[in-house]
Structure 1
Amino acid sequence: MDAVRKAWIGTFNALKYEMSENAFSGSSINGFVNNSTVNGITKKRSYSANAYFKPAQNRSNLHLVTDALVEKSFLTKHSGRALLKGVEHIFQAGKGVIVAAGALNSPKILQLSGIGDAELLRSLGIDVYVENSNVGENFQDHTSSGMSFEVIDEIQTLDPLNRQEPKAIAAAMSAYQTDETGPFAGAAVSSFAYMPVPDFQTPKGKAELEHLLLSYKSEKESVTTEFARSVLSSADKSSACYFVYAAHGNFGSDASSAKNVTISHESGNFLTIACELGYPLSRGSVHIQSSSTSDSPIIDPKYFSNPIDLDIHARFIRYIHNIAATEPMASILKPDGHISPSFAAFGTDLEDAKDYVRKTMISAWHPCGTCAMLPLADGGVLNQKLIVYGTRNIRIVDASMIPLISRGNLQSTIYAVAERAADLIKLDHNI
């Protein structure tokens, strides 16, 4: 284990967040070293294409069509429910169709096909087959922010690679090609900490939380926001996660894409400590803007539309300074070293922390929830078999079906959803 990972775990132990159980139990609190989706034997990335598709690509009943755009699904009424007949020009659906276009495009396909809010569809000249105003609602995402600290000279980081320094790239490539070691054989982010809100663990903090929750309580809470609120009150459930990235993080600049976050304009070597809000209360939407397939949907994430999210995120961001100042983490950071962005040294004032989050917050690119598997009356689009309400044979299998965002990265969750969907389909067809 390298110095950064050792310092990470030791620091959270020093902060009295000792690991009490398996880090992957789903309920642990503390810093830990995460598994990476890198094959331990081949030292290559393991993901859906090479783990699922490649072994099955030569099957006679599997045909991959690339560079194809699904325009809509053709529906016909059958016993009061819509039955999918086929996708325009190309396919005839014999038994069913699986939509797996993601949280941004699966609701788009449904709406273009006449499944969604009747008023919206009619305003765009689309015939309504299934009226369901829940389609495209319940958008959720993790918000992320962080700051970077200059490290002591003995700590190696990924900054030279991010700056595209030829010597560093050549050394990393040589290590990987020679004996499958070095930075290309692992992940850039491997240390995490799932945490309750630190401020709310004292009597004063609990009073602050009660006041906060009462101040911004909606008249009608959804089943998903009720759960998110309950997590905030718990000392043994995490409301956010911290992670450390062994390089400079480009927060507070043009971080509209994952690539831009890792582009370094700083000299020197850094560690970035970042935080993702686990269970946001804000809910956004994804809706089509026309009947044309070529038009992207209107995505309104409504980040921080519930003020509680900003307050909680700011408290977690403020606590990063505590992490950096605690041993052994403090020993691997340069005394009086550079902190980036320059306005990260905002002290302990909560309003200053909120302002920092507003300036630096980016998406974690974990959109989900827009075709939720919930009872229809609770905002659902899919039943417990992942079938679209009002249809017989349209399933959605992607992040849009998640009713409440998981507290971590969605990757493994989506794999589990797909595995479960396969089982459901096999049961339906006695396979």
Structure 2
Amino acid sequence: MNERWHVVKHLTTSSPARTCGLVLANRLSADPKIRVAVIEPGEDVRDNVNVTDPALFTVPFGTSIDWQYSTTPQPAAGNRTIPWHAGKAIGGTSTINGMTYIRGDRAQFDAWEALGNEGWNWESLYPYYKKTEKFTVPSGAQMAAGATYDPEVHGETGHVHTGFPFSFTNSSFHELATNTWAGLGYPLNEDVNAGSVRGFSTWPQTLDRDRNIRFDAARSYYYPVEDRPNLTLIRGTVKRIIWSRSSVAGGIAVAEGVEYVSPDGELVDVTAAEEVILSAGALRSPLILESSGVGNPSLLNSLGIETRVDLPGVGEYLQEQPNTVLVYSSTLNWSGSAPYATFSTAQDMFGDETSSIETSTLAQIPDWAKKVAAASNGAVEAANVEKLFRVQHDLVFRQNATLGETLTTISGGYFVSAMWLLLPFSWGSVHLTSVEAINAPAIDPKYFLVDFDLDVQIGLGRLAQKFWHTKPMGDFVDGSVSPIDGVLPLNATDKQWTSYIGDSLMPNHHPIGTASMMSRELGGVVDPKLRVYGTKNVRVVDSSILPLQFSGHLTATLYAVAERAAELIIEAA
């Protein structure tokens, strides 16, 4: 049974990546003449201590506020299906993520414009980064523990509180880590949010330090304005876009609203007077598009869905970063936490071999592109993938963008490194599996489809291992916990590293690209105004539109993108 709901001007459909959707809801509803509805299946978690307490990160995993996805079997991981977490709550994944606030390298955002997205670059995003942020200057104790910052690059009046947690440890760990990384050629980076992340640094988090509360998207943008009479939050899961009967097959598709599934299983229609805006994230926005007949005709036909808009790029170009962890026991027992990150360039990792590796990998790009295209079952063309790979290759080898991140932290009596390649050439997909299975996507990141990605991941593992065995830090390492001693000796072979990485591989939960902002010819899904090609009034504003990976964590950039998108939408109204 279908019900009808009242007409709204802008319909923002958001789940699970609510970061962008709630920014839009806040900004659009600031005009009392604009009626905005947000559709969200998740619960209100403003009083859920597992969300609000920054120290309880990871506790919500596997609970009712986690979508609890999993990947398809991954050959590079022994054909394991790997759990994938995403927030199912008002605030989406920002309610369960690691709260990291790092933007990325300037050149990586400039590359978006190089793909044909006029006006999308570092300089255009920078004011929005500052607009969103309300930065708390670190205390004297935090400065003593190693917190550094550049006041010029942070905002002071935004909605999103950022700062260093009070649990930031004031021990000798920071000095040891700084000196050890410096000995390995990594200088201290005063502030990773200034447009260059290379080196060793501390980083702020999305939290209110003085209240010790996570500042997720809902706390930042929704709760303060939830009582606006022109803003409505509807509980439900968006299933598909409803098209106007005046839409002509083969012409421009006009959306008149969406159909969603209510908590009690009813199908309900909501009519939008102006636009439908998808902010459902890289894992769900493509599913809504495909359910609506927007995507690869071959796939849609196999699912019994009529094609409204032929856009083979929908769901393709999924770029995710594989994560590997090493754990060591310590001879000391430090308390607190230490959010320290080290970012590596190609020159850092390959040294004197960088030039030869640049040449050899450049020659392999056509083959890499063919692999990705073949894995898409013809949805994307190898020639287009090759063009994108050449842009990314240039970032790595000519513009010195960082391609690896290593997290260095402590937990009680344990030392921990988590590392991931930042700019993978192994691109996968996320697709609908059936008309009814909107909550069960086929997520296939295709980890290590391209061998170079595995080479980088192994290099990062060896770098982390070397760090823990280099003075002065090495003097305090007692033994290996994960993997256990002997599995990865200091002279471990590529084969041993490949085995360990495959056995322990986990997602980094930074998916992008599945509704990419770039030309339709390259396989893009949205234009620089974020409108879906072939539609009159459907936009996508979330991580799925980001065309290339970057060296930050998603949250900071998604807030900036959504703020800019809100202005674009208001200007067009």
Same fold (TM over 0.5): yes
Q: Pick from 225, 239, 264: which aligns with 1:71?
A: 239
Cα displacement (A) at 1:227: 2.8
The corresponding residue for 1:312 is: 456
Contact 1:216 1:306 in 2 (8 A): no
Contact 1:146 1:272 in 2 (8 A): yes
The TM-score with structure 1 as length reference comes to 0.82
The alignment status of 1:238 with 2:402, answered yes or no, reads yes
The alignment status of 1:409 with 2:553, answered yes or no, reads yes
The alignment status of 1:123 with 2:326, answered yes or no, reads no
The alignment status of 1:95 with 2:274, answered yes or no, reads yes
The alignment status of 1:191 with 2:333, answered yes or no, reads no
Q: For residues 209-233 of structure 1, what are the alpha-carbon distances to aligned partners after superposition, in whole Å with 9 as ceiling and x for unaligned?
A: 5334434643634443223322432
* Larger deviation, residues 141-150 vs 323-332: 323-332
Tell me, in whole angstroms, the C-alpha distance in 2 between the residues paired with 1:53 and 1:148.
Answer: 38
* Larger deviation, residues 288-297 vs 275-284: 288-297
3-state DSSP of counterpart to 1:63: strand
The alignment status of 1:112 with 2:291, answered yes or no, reads yes
The alignment status of 1:156 with 2:339, answered yes or no, reads no
The TM-score with structure 2 as length reference comes to 0.62
The corresponding residue for 1:338 is: 480
Q: Pick from 521, 531, 539: which aligns with 1:377?
A: 521
Cα distance change of structure 1 residues 415 and 73 upon mapping to structure 2, 3 Å threshold: same
Cα distance change of structure 1 residues 338 and 302 upon mapping to structure 2, 3 Å threshold: closer
Tell me, in whole angstroms, the C-alpha distance in 2 between the residues paired with 1:18 and 1:235.
Answer: 19
3-state DSSP of counterpart to 1:201: helix
> What is the correspondence of 1:28-427 to structure 2 with a 5 Å cutoff?
28-66=197-235, 68-76=236-244, 77-78=246-247, 80-88=251-259, 89-153=268-332, 155-157=333-335, 183=336, 188=337, 190-197=339-346, 198-202=348-352, 204-215=353-364, 217-218=366-367, 220=383, 221-234=385-398, 236-247=400-411, 269-294=413-438, 296-334=440-478, 337-342=479-484, 343-345=487-489, 347-427=491-571
Which letter does structure 1 place at the counterpart of 2:243? L
Identity %: 29
Cα distance change of structure 1 residues 296 and 102 upon mapping to structure 2, 3 Å threshold: same
Tell me, in whole angstroms, the C-alpha distance in 1 between the residues paired with 2:338 and 2:257.
Answer: 43
Contact 1:137 1:369 in 2 (8 A): yes
The corresponding residue for 1:9 is: 178
Tell me, in whole angstroms, the C-alpha distance in 1 between the residues paired with 2:498 and 2:362.
Answer: 17
Contact 1:136 1:371 in 2 (8 A): yes
3-state DSSP of counterpart to 1:207: helix
Contact 1:216 1:308 in 2 (8 A): no
3-state DSSP of counterpart to 1:193: strand
3-state DSSP of counterpart to 1:418: helix
Tell me, in whole angstroms, the C-alpha distance in 1 between the residues paired with 2:271 and 2:540.
Answer: 18
Contact 2:318 2:428 in 1 (8 A): yes
Q: For residues 321-344 of structure 1, what are the alpha-carbon distances to aligned partners after superposition, in whole Å with 9 as ceiling and x for unaligned?
A: 22112233223323xx23421123
Contact 2:197 2:551 in 1 (8 A): no
Which letter does structure 1 place at the counterpart of 2:351? Q
3-state DSSP of counterpart to 2:229: coil
Tell me, in whole angstroms, the C-alpha distance in 2 between the residues paired with 1:86 and 1:216.
Answer: 42
Cα distance change of structure 1 residues 222 and 212 upon mapping to structure 2, 3 Å threshold: closer
Tell me, in whole angstroms, the C-alpha distance in 2 between the residues paired with 1:60 and 1:355.
Answer: 57
Cα distance change of structure 1 residues 30 and 386 upon mapping to structure 2, 3 Å threshold: same
3-state DSSP of counterpart to 2:419: strand
3-state DSSP of counterpart to 2:458: helix
Tell me, in whole angstroms, the C-alpha distance in 2 between the residues paired with 1:20 and 1:194.
Answer: 10
The corresponding residue for 1:256 is: none
Tell me, in whole angstroms, the C-alpha distance in 2 between the residues paired with 1:205 and 1:385.
Answer: 38
Corresponding residue pairs, total: 375
3-state DSSP of counterpart to 1:347: coil
Which letter does structure 2 place at the counterpart of 1:11? T
The corresponding residue for 2:85 is: none
Cα distance change of structure 1 residues 128 and 45 upon mapping to structure 2, 3 Å threshold: same
Q: For residues 172-219 of structure 1, what are the alpha-carbon distances to aligned partners after superposition, in whole Å with 9 as ceiling and x for unaligned?
A: xxxxxxxxxxx5xxxx561101111434221x4432453344346436
Gaps of 5+ in 2: 1-144, 146-169, 260-267, 370-382
Tell me, in whole angstroms, the C-alpha distance in 1 between the residues paired with 2:480 and 2:415.
Answer: 11
Gaps of 5+ in 1: 158-182, 248-267
Contact 1:82 1:130 in 2 (8 A): yes
Cα displacement (A) at 1:317: 0.8
Cα distance change of structure 1 residues 199 and 101 upon mapping to structure 2, 3 Å threshold: closer
3-state DSSP of counterpart to 1:19: coil
3-state DSSP of counterpart to 2:231: coil
Higher strand share: 2
Cα displacement (A) at 1:405: 1.7
* Larger deviation, residues 12-21 vs 133-142: 12-21
Cα distance change of structure 1 residues 223 and 46 upon mapping to structure 2, 3 Å threshold: farther
